[in-house]
Amino acid sequence: MKMNLEETALSSAGLPDRDDFTPVELLAGRPDAAALFLCDHASNAVPKTYGSLGLPPEQFARHIAWDIGAADVTRALAAMFEAPAVLSRFSRLLIDPNRGADDPTLVMRISDGALIPANAHIDDTEITRRTQQYWQPYRDAAAAQLDRMTTNGIPPAIVSIHSFTPIWRGTPRPWQIGLLWDGDARLAQALMGELEAQPDLTIGDNEPYDGALEGDTLYDLGTMRGIPHILIEIRQDLIATQAGAQAWAGRIALALKPALARAGIRMIERHPSHARSQSRRPALTRTRA
């Protein structure tokens, strides 16, 4: 069930800003659900206060503005699990909800060759304003939902849905789906085992990105709290349509349900982060090449 967005703004994200832009979308679900679903880069929207950030409209259809298809997959999974979900409602071109507040890439000046004019000479005051009005309400909403779901002492797993481009700087990416994780491999290993039962999948282990990023959403909500978590990356061309997103949500659910049911998953365990480590951590165990 989708909550009224005005109610969402007032209940979880404080009062709307001056142009009534609501930074967070909440989907209601069972408080005892096995998972809390997140979508950091769900939207390519920008508050009218900022116009188009000086960019032409076609730039907002690109991956630099949002994770194409990720929101549809997140909503479908939340419905399948009867679980709550928290989605951002602003473009990462405005401010990236999946970066730490002190990360130099929190507000991008240039993204994949595109100069963002409104960000090119941004100062600390404006970064702080965007942090307070957009970034912080999203993080607070996710943390509050997580708190509500852990009152019985059994935490949900946090499942964050992202998408990636099929080609990066001229090189095709071979994976259809990737599992990103940091120090806590519990859910990543369980999910890898279940996904490998689908023989047509090429699965990335900390590909196409590394899951160890200090200050990102899962670092704050998962690693620092000892709550099991996973970031799932899906190739954008596979989920660019509603039909594709629904199909891939089904494939993920088929693997995620038994993974979450495994012993030892939904427990609080603190594992050190590898975000500052110079050594490469062991890969997940594979059952097939």
Which tens digit of pLDDT belongs to each residue from 33-46?
Answer: 999 999 999 999 99
Would you say residue 5 has pLDDT above 90? Answer: no
Would you say residue 10 has pLDDT above 50? Answer: no
The pLDDT of residue 20 is 76
The pLDDT of residue 185 is 97
CA distance 3 to 84: 10
Confidence of residue 11 (pLDDT cuts 50, 70, 90): very low
The residue among 232 and 10 whose pLDDT is bigger is: 232
CA distance 178 to 140: 27
**Mean pLDDT over residues 18-25, rounded?**
82
In tens, the pLDDT along 118-155 reads: 999 999 999 999 999 999 999 999 999 999 999 988 99
Would you say residue 1 has pLDDT above 50? Answer: no
Would you say residue 7 has pLDDT above 60? Answer: no
The pLDDT of residue 279 is 76
The pLDDT of residue 278 is 76
**Mean pLDDT over residues 162-175, rounded?**
95
Would you say residue 8 has pLDDT above 90? Answer: no
Listing DSSP states for the chain in one string gives -BPPHHHHHHHHS-S--TT----EEEE---TT-SEEEEETT------GGGTTTT--GGGGGSTTTS-TTHHHHHHHHHHHHT--EEEE-S-TTT--TTS-TT-TTSS-SEETTEE-GGGTT--HHHHHHHIIIIIHHHHHHHHHHHHHHTTTS-PPEEEEEEEE-SEETTEE---SEEEE-SS--HHHHHHHHHHTTSTT--EEES-SS-S--TTSHHIIIIITTT--EEEEEEEGGGSSSHHHHHHHHHHHHHHHHHHHHSTTSSS-------TT-SSPPPPPP-S--
Class of domain 5-261: alpha beta
Query: Which residues, in sequence order, are bridge partners of residue 180?
Result: 231
In tens, the pLDDT along 65-117 reads: 999 999 999 999 999 999 999 999 999 999 999 999 999 999 999 999 899 99
Would you say residue 4 has pLDDT above 60? Answer: no
**Whether 146 contacts 221, CB under 8 Å:** yes
In tens, the pLDDT along 202-234 reads: 999 999 999 999 999 999 999 999 999 999 999
Would you say residue 16 has pLDDT above 50? Answer: no
The pLDDT of residue 19 is 61
Confidence of residue 284 (pLDDT cuts 50, 70, 90): very high
